[in-house]
Amino acid sequence: MKDINKAIYQLPPREENNFRGARQFMHRWDFFKAREAPSALGLMRIRVNASPSGNINIAGTNRSSLSVIFIPSQDGFLDAIEPGVRNLVKFFAIDLDFITYTSCEGHYYRERHEADERHVGILPRNDAERSAIWGGFTEASTEWNQRCIDMPMIVGIMEGAVKDGRALLPTLDLYLAKRSEATWDFYFSAVDLATVILIDILRSGQRRRAFDLKAGKIDAVARQEETAKAQSM
């Protein structure tokens, strides 16, 4: 079983997580909201390929490989996201405008008895946004784990960082992590349903409210409630 921090499944961070150009990527994410982004599908595009196991990367291999990361305003954004995790990425990147830097639908490599778990990773812009993401992740993962005790996975959180040159940028990843007692066949037979349930929980009003902290919406609501309470006294 994965490490448990109180009621939250907190996963150990990756030993090495390099993302050269991460800070520029974060800048471009917001810069091109009000401007036309360069096409990822035109003459200067970088093609992505799929491996026999479904991995989408430049080489089309199921081993470690360079991947292409687009921003939502580019027309190649969805093409570089694996289908099984696409709706989860769309929720975070498009609905909530969080900067997603990694994702994987999960892959089973039978020939070498290894697998990748389904996950999405986010680069918070600042401490306030990081706190909001952490709050949303913990609430959603706690509810999922309480509702889905018979599933072959748990929803866990990985708190880590990416290295961009000498800079370390904090990250938060949300994982559908296999239970130690479950088989990979059981995991992959259930991971699509698990993802549907997770997205439903994330979209619910209470969970969505936790993420809205990033835009200062909760602070505004709290001030309005305090004002209304003071006026009624």
Q: Tokens 């003459």 — which residue?
A: 43
- Identify the three-state secondary structure at position 207: helix
Please choose, from the candidates 191, 8, 213, 5, the residue with its C-alpha nearest in 3D space to the C-alpha of residue 82.
191
Residues 6+ apart with CB under 8 A from 93: 72, 77, 99, 100
Residue type, 132: A
Quote the pLDDT of residue 16: 76
| Whether the Cβ atoms of residue 11 and residue 177 lie closer than 8 Å to each other | yes
Say if residues 162 and 19 touch (Cβ distance below 8 Å).
Answer: yes
The CA distance from 212 to 206, in Å, is 10
Global pTM?
0.81
Radius of gyration of the chain (CA): 19
Beta bridge partners of 172: 122, 159
User: Which pLDDT score is estimated for 221?
Assistant: 47
Q: How far apart are CA 155 and CA 119, in angstroms?
A: 9
Residue type, 193: L
Strands 8-11 vs 153-164: parallel, antiparallel or unpaired: parallel
Instruction: Sort strands 100-104 and 49-50 into parallel, antiparallel or unpaired.
Output: unpaired
Kindly state the tokens that stand for 98: 């969080």
**In what helix (H) or strand (E) does residue 146 lie, and over which residues does it extend?**
helix 127-147
d(CA 7, CA 19): 31
Each residue's pLDDT tens digit in the chain (233 positions)?
A: 344 444 578 999 887 788 989 999 999 999 998 787 777 665 445 566 665 666 665 555 666 556 677 889 888 788 888 999 999 999 999 999 999 999 999 988 888 888 999 999 999 999 989 999 998 999 999 999 999 999 999 999 999 999 999 999 999 999 999 999 999 999 999 999 999 999 999 988 655 666 765 555 545 444 455 555 555 55
